[in-house]
Structure 1
């Protein structure tokens, strides 16, 4: 175990690479999820068809297979990607498909009365989405997005197969040099857990901020003048 712990600089560099790929992949997946998820709520059949094609295809294909395709197969056709670009594309496309369904379902879960109220205020379709529907849907999206973010982070363990020196890649190097298999993978098990918990904390913070922005979870406060006679007002 001591030999494994002495190799912590390698593990920290690998962990940093894992975090970077997680962030890049999550941003790419979020952009795709919003674009195709909102397309799934559109009235036009063409946009809804585009949503279904993207979601069904990339949700049904393994991220590792996509990674191999971008890194090993497409260069044969003249398209070359760096290992990190191939990993981000594969992970983003795969998890963006799951996220698109979260976006679509969350927008459609907003009560129709909210949409009708926005129409009564003469909002355009873009204003209804930006000012009324999307802010409320965001509160519904965040919990499942948190789960997808952690799953995306764990999926980055496969990028070591395309020669990216992530946490798993570094662990394999240390295991090969020290011969301590159990100790090495026990350490990175804990490191992946710590990264996942850090991501979960960030999602929780985003949930609380979104709830405050929407005025949820905060009890209304009334002034003494507004309280009925004989009713105590809490400070």
Structure 2
């Protein structure tokens, strides 16, 4: 039977491992995304080609198969073995980092050309233009798609259970074998993953509001939007009345 003792002894350690995998792979994915995404905007074609090659390879590669390759093929090829936790972390971080690089590239490309030209006129180097002009303006546009990608990465952490990483999915499967109960265990897993996704979404929305406020584009509240719309209608009606009066 499911009880607090089972939850404390099986699921709590698994939740902590899941959080570790999520944090480590998120950090790696962010580094890869910003590095590859920035290199794909380089003015040197060879740099763009190499970064694009990385993107195409990992976009078309299965994270699960790459995880198997890291855990089981690399030891046979090189004679040394990754800890399973790091095999899963590297596979997830490198794969989802490739997806994130397209978000970075697209957001940087969306920065108005006049902004980049202003940086060139001020004799900024490429790194200075990125740090002071392009990334601060592109960052708020990256956060919503990054939020979706982070949720997908969080759900993808369940894949590490197949290489014997004791995350909460692995713990749930072991507990199912020990208790022969499937419905309560997998229901609990669904709830736990949903709670993690909900918390991550709230944190990312807070980050988005702060990022937009930093560039003077804080989102309006609903009543503010309603007020703006109503005032816009009033101004339109007033302008129409003035026009009609002028014509008359």
Q: With structure 2 as the length reference, what TM-score do the two structures score?
A: 0.85
Give me the whole-angstrom Cα distance separating, in 2, the residues matched to 1:105 and 1:24.
Answer: 25
Deviates more, 1:183-192 or 1:77-86: 77-86
Partner of 2:7: 8
Q: How many residues align?
A: 218
Say if 2:210 and 2:218, in contact at 8 Å, map to a contact too.
no
Give me the whole-angstrom Cα distance separating, in 2, the residues matched to 1:106 and 1:140.
Answer: 6
SS in 2 for 1:35: helix
| CA deviation profile, 1:103-142 (whole Å, cap 9, x unmatched) | 1011001111211222233322221111000111111111
Higher helix share: 2
Uncovered stretches (5+) of structure 2, i.e. residues with no partner: 221-248
Give me the whole-angstrom Cα distance separating, in 2, the residues matched to 1:165 and 1:30.
Answer: 24
Over alpha carbons, which structure has the higher Rg?
Answer: 2
Give me the whole-angstrom Cα distance separating, in 1, the residues matched to 2:180 and 2:2.
Answer: 10
Q: How does 1:201-216 map to 2 (within 5 A)?
A: 201-216=202-217
Give me the whole-angstrom Cα distance separating, in 2, the residues matched to 1:164 and 1:123.
Answer: 47
Partner of 1:76: 76
Partner of 2:157: 156
Q: With structure 1 as the length reference, what TM-score do the two structures score?
A: 0.89
Task: Please state if 1:94 is matched with 2:95.
Answer: yes
Give the alignment's Cα RMSD to 1 decimal. 1.4
Say if 2:55 and 2:98, in contact at 8 Å, map to a contact too.
yes
Q: How does 1:170-189 map to 2 (within 5 A)?
A: 170-189=171-190
Partner of 2:104: 103
Uncovered stretches (5+) of structure 1, i.e. residues with no partner: 220-235
Structure 1: 4+ residue segments shifted above 6 A: none
